[in-house]
Each structure stands twice: as structure tokens, then as C-alpha cells.
Amino acid sequence: MLSVQAVRNPITTSFRVPFVIGYTGDVVRQSLKFVPRPDGWKLSYDAPRAGDWAHGVLRLRQNSKRSGRPDFKTVNTRRQWRCMTKRLCQVCARSAVDPDTGRISWLLSSEEGNQARDGFTNAPPTCKACIPEAITYCPHLRHNALVVTVGDCIPYGVRADLFLPLLPTVVPYERNAVILLSDPDRELALARELLVRLTDVRPARIER
């Protein structure tokens, strides 16, 4: 699996906090329940509302406006999802699509080697203008940055907490599980991040 760490440096505040980074005020406490279906069960909020589900998966509810302090160990589910589906830069939230070629700019970790081609990732795109900043402030990427362009990105799965119908919904059966959108278990999951499959991945140069 491909991954990329967020731009982060907890010591300094001389850089922008990436758009996808979570904040301490993002949390919205909501009670969960299971809803019976003809072929099983479906996870739901006690008071469901439009926008709770995407691709048949219940999404974590979070405030869309940033409040509190940045939490560099988390991402905001809604902002991460928006960057993935709208092809927006995870740092500045502007389009990561090249207007001339239509290709999407992406910054990944090179640790996966050849898996960087046509793989899947939980990291949203990074526009060309923000790539140097991301590499500068992320210690991991300074040694492992892989800059590519992508032909397209297709929703593939979610990183989620998995619940079981016969157990209380207070504690998930499994945390941070990778669940494919084709998996029936997606209806028992509370998604935190969208995973996308990258297609037509090509190496690119870092523009400084």
C-alpha cells in the first residue's frame, strides 16, 4: 500500500497547516446503532442525516470548520474525502490537476518501490506548488519522496473501524482496518479515510 505523511513540524508554526490535518475541535460525539436489513445489518447513527454515507459506507462525523489546535497525528475525514474525490491538494485545497495535461500531481513515499505504480493510497494529491514545502517539513519525505503524476484516481476502499452486530457499538471489533468498497463488511464499518486506486502512474520531477 502507498502512503505519504502529512506536512508537519510540531515545533515551528512558520508553515501552513495542511488542509487535511485534523484539529482538536473536529470531534462530533454521536451514538451508533445497527439497523436490520433483509440480508443482515447496517451501521448507522442514532439520528442519521444526509451525507452520512458514501459508497455504502458510514463516514465519521466531524466538524468541517477547523477549530482548536492542529493534531498532526490525524486527518479530518470530510476534508480528506473531499481532496480525494475533487482531486484537491491536501496542503492548500486547490486543484492538483494540471490544466494543460489533465494529469493529477501526487506525492508518495518511495519505500514501496515498484508498488508505486498503479497502487492504492490514503494520501490525497499534492499540487506542484506545494510539493517542495511538503518535502521540506516532513522528515520522512525528505529521504523517501516520490513525485508522480496520475491519470486518474478511483475510489477503492476505506480505512475504518469495524463493528459487529452482536457486540456493543461502544468499542469497535477492529480499528484502522482496510475494507474494500466491494466488501459486504463495508456496511459494518465507520470510515475515517477514503482509499483510491491510482492509474497510469508516471514519475515526475520536483519543481522548485
Calculate the alpha carbon distances from 106 to 4, 118, 124 in Å.
10, 12, 7
- Listed residue (80, 86, 84) closest to 26, CA to CA: 80
Instruction: Give the domain ranges of the chain.
Output: 21-95+118-127+154-199
pLDDT tens profile 59-104: 999 887 788 899 988 999 999 999 999 999 999 999 999 999 999 9
Assign residue 13 a region: left if phi > 0, alpha if psi is -120 to 50, beta otherwise?
Answer: alpha
Interval 19-35 mean pLDDT: 90
Residue 205, pLDDT score: 75
Residue 126, pLDDT score: 95
Residue 13, pLDDT score: 45
Name the pairing type of β-strands 53-54 and 104-109: unpaired
Residue 111, pLDDT score: 62
Mapped onto helix, strand or coil, the DSSP state of residue 97 is strand
For the chain, where are the alpha helices, taking DSSP H only? 77-86, 131-137, 139-144
9 pLDDT tier (thresholds 50, 70, 90): very low
Scanning the structure block, which residue is given the C-alpha cell 466531524?
A: 62
Scanning the structure block, which residue is given the C-alpha cell 452482536?
A: 166
